Amino acid sequence: MAITDLPNSRTEEDGSAVVRVLSYNVRSLRDDEDALARVIRACAPDLVFVQEAPRFFRWRKHAARLAAKSELLVLSGGATAAGPLLMCSLRATVERTEDILLPLTPGLHRRGFATAVVRFARARVGLISCHLSLREDERYAQAGMLLDRVAAMDAPHTIVAGDLNERPDGRSFTRLTKELQDGWAVSPWGGEYTSTPTDPHQRIDAILATPGVEFLGCGVPTELPEADLKAATDHLPVLAAVRIPAAGTS
């Protein structure tokens, strides 16, 4: 399926917003950054949930450069969220942002959430970019913390996206989907598997949302140039179109 098969971004007569959402693990920009930016631009997203954003020397400069190449703005996250990052188009009106560090398990990488609340016309939505642990017990605990954060967002709707490091039948993934919609399961579009670009065989990245957000299509945009998808990073992107109701509607 072509990206043009997904609905374009728009504001509807009742004030609800159709929004394009992209989730992408960029491996600290260690690969072909120009190919990465071409993939992002081709998806024409309003929101990008990044994982493994640069975290060390001049990380803000690197994040800003990727945003500029992608024709977007940095919204929140990066090193201050231990890797998750949010980018947005000028269409989004930002209410607030918060970067959250999760408890550190000795010997493992620090994890965190990049969060924000934004508005598109009369539609208001919370955003959380996440990258869960490689270790099963820590990942399960982080899934619970993620649900707690969703509940604390003080927004009528929330979108969660990221690298869950687990397949849909896993304990942590299942914990999340008991409360959140899984975009691919609700409205599959494009390809399913996100890892790896050279041998797609598992879905460990996802776009999730609270009830009330309508998925119009969600999956891997596989028709993009294969050379760019392979050169950009070690994950494939997940793209979704969602409809977010206007305030005061359901």
User: What would the pLDDT profile of 146-195 be if each residue is shown by its tens digit?
Assistant: 999 999 999 999 999 999 999 999 999 999 999 999 999 999 999 999 99
CA distances 110 to 81, 120, 131, Å, are 9, 32, 10
* pLDDT value for 88: 98
Summarize pLDDT for 73-129 with one digit per residue, the tens.
Answer: 999 999 999 999 999 999 999 999 999 999 999 988 999 999 999 999 999 999 999
How far apart are alpha carbons 43 and 22 in whole angstroms?
8
Q: Provide the mean pLDDT of the chain.
A: 96
Listed residue (230, 154, 247) closest to 195, CA to CA: 230
- Confidence grade of residue 5 (pLDDT, cut at 50, 70, 90): confident
Residue 50 is inside which H or E element, if any?
strand 47-51
pLDDT for 248 equals 75
Helix or strand run (H / E) with residue 33:
helix 33-43
pLDDT at 81: 98
Structure-token pair, residue 97: 């942002």
Residue 235: its pLDDT value, please?
A: 98
